Structure 1
């Protein structure tokens, strides 16, 4: 069995990814700052859970000790965490901004470096990052989120150019819109369900990236609801 690692697991996209990867026979490690909320999902998917603050190098080292503890090769690594703080630029708290950058971008680097070290040796594996439209265009009063997501996109692009020739597939998924509940619909009567992305549908795109033949690898895919203008 191959091993898949998902960092930053909660409800929504991460849970959809876990279920779909488990259905394919992957052994799973799910990492989150609060693993208590993962008990149901872990039981459903047979996953191992690891407490991890992705922005801390010592936590990431400990997470990959768990990755190495099993007999399966790491085949897939997915990074989902992000943090944001909104407000006028002149009013932003520098400490909060730094935290947002650490979670959104630096933690992605920490995971990617560890995963790449293992995958390059075998010349195989897939590393995927969850991006956002904020990584392509910066919005007002949202500078920290744009900074983090731009950095994440730059990391993914640089990695793809470096690692694709070494057999490691790197993908960046731009999620342009809010994510609704699995199966479609909306959790709020004030939101048009057609205006939200179904996390199960997003997860299918991640699987398609994992499945891509190496003769035609994509490094970036944009996803948005069909009613979204861009």
Structure 2
């Protein structure tokens, strides 16, 4: 028998279609009150209507904006005992030609924004000795690809943040977990090729793994989980 979910309020930062939408549906189906945060909240209206979630506008790389986000969440829903960071930034191109400002912004969203959100979450969870913080990573956090330096830098930093936070916060009752999404995530714009069924990751299946991690007894917590389709090469 699976463990009950020991969380009641969840904030998803970087919400949109795909992984975060599937996680929001899974959590709301388990009775968790969900808040969805993104730069553009207009796109979240259908998901909010479906899940009963509340929407919050935020620039995840702005310290003041992130602080306001948590204050608003506290007031409207209650202090979150589950926080998920799903935002990321990237700019592609040859290293010699990349715009430094675009690279800085990409890293700020992928890594600095994650730090800001983890910090605010920890401040609320530490006095209670309870909570969970989940960080959505990527293949790029394990190996950097050509023409994708900014994404690799951001995701490597995110993984370092997760590892450090897990070592610091887990002994204080806060479960920190990092997910390496190693492969393409299925969507309407990116469906499975007909000749290669299940060669992309189903976002609902990813969400189920998030829920499984949240159900882990604290005597056997995972700090990192890699997810890849069965056809993905290592």
TM-score, length of structure 1 as denominator length:
0.95
1:62 corresponds in structure 2 to 68
Unaligned regions of 5+ residues in structure 2, if any?
1-6
Q: Does the aligned pair in 2 maintain the 1:186–1:192 contact within 8 Å?
A: no
2:33 corresponds in structure 1 to 27
Give the Cα separation in 1 of the matches to 2:14 and 2:76: 21
Which residue, out of 120, 132, 136, partners 2:138?
132
Q: Does the aligned pair in 2 maintain the 1:108–1:152 contact within 8 Å?
A: yes
Which residue, out of 28, 35, 44, partners 1:38?
44
- Using a 3 Å threshold, how does the CA distance of structure 1 residues 71 and 229 change in structure 2: closer, same or farther? closer
Q: After the TM superposition, which parts of structure 1 deviate over 4 Å for at least 4 consecutive aligned residues?
A: 188-191
Which residue, out of 209, 222, 225, partners 2:226?
222
Unaligned regions of 5+ residues in structure 1, if any?
none
Q: CA deviation at 1:136?
A: 0.6
Q: CA deviation at 1:67?
A: 2.0
Q: Does the aligned pair in 1 maintain the 2:9–2:77 contact within 8 Å?
A: no
Q: CA deviation at 1:190?
A: 7.2
Q: Secondary structure at the match of 2:83?
A: strand
Which residue, out of 206, 213, 221, partners 2:210?
206
Q: Does the aligned pair in 2 maintain the 1:126–1:169 contact within 8 Å?
A: yes
Q: Secondary structure at the match of 1:138?
A: coil
RMSD: 1.7
2:3 corresponds in structure 1 to none
Q: CA deviation at 1:181?
A: 3.0
Q: Does the aligned pair in 1 maintain the 2:192–2:200 contact within 8 Å?
A: no
Q: CA deviation at 1:189?
A: 5.1
TM-score, length of structure 2 as denominator length:
0.93
1:53 corresponds in structure 2 to 59
Q: CA deviation at 1:141?
A: 1.3
